[in-house]
Amino acid sequence: MFGLGLPEILIILVIIFLLFGAKRLPEIGEGLGKTIRELRKIKEDKKGEKNQSDQKGGLISDIKKEVEDIPGLKEAKEIKAAADKVKNITSITLAL
């Protein structure tokens, strides 16, 4: 453990005990425990995200299916296509 032996660890624990007192030690331990749990949770979430990115093809197709189910999206795409056609036609006529 970082090159510390039992005597060094005991000295550190005694110093911590003297600084914070017996009443605060359980609070400090609880805080350290929560911190370690959160760090592990974050680490597992990162691993999960990495695994999901490895399966990107399935994820992208799922997202596309959900996006297609948005109400009015098909109509909006058709309107955009029509607007693009009008834009192209007007740019061609202005060029002549």
17 part of a folded domain: yes
**pLDDT tens track for 1-47:** 467 788 888 888 888 888 888 888 888 888 888 888 988 888 888 87
Task: Give the number of C-alpha atoms closer than 13 A to the C-alpha of residue 90, restricted to the C-beta side.
Answer: 6
- The structural domain count of the chain equals 1
Write the CB contacts of 39 (distance below 8 Å, at least 6 apart in sequence).
none
What is the domain extent for residue 48?
Answer: 1-54
70 part of a folded domain: no
CA distance 39 to 42: 5
84 part of a folded domain: no
DSSP state at residue 70: S
32 part of a folded domain: yes
How much is the pTM? 0.41
CB distance 59 to 52 below 8 Å: yes
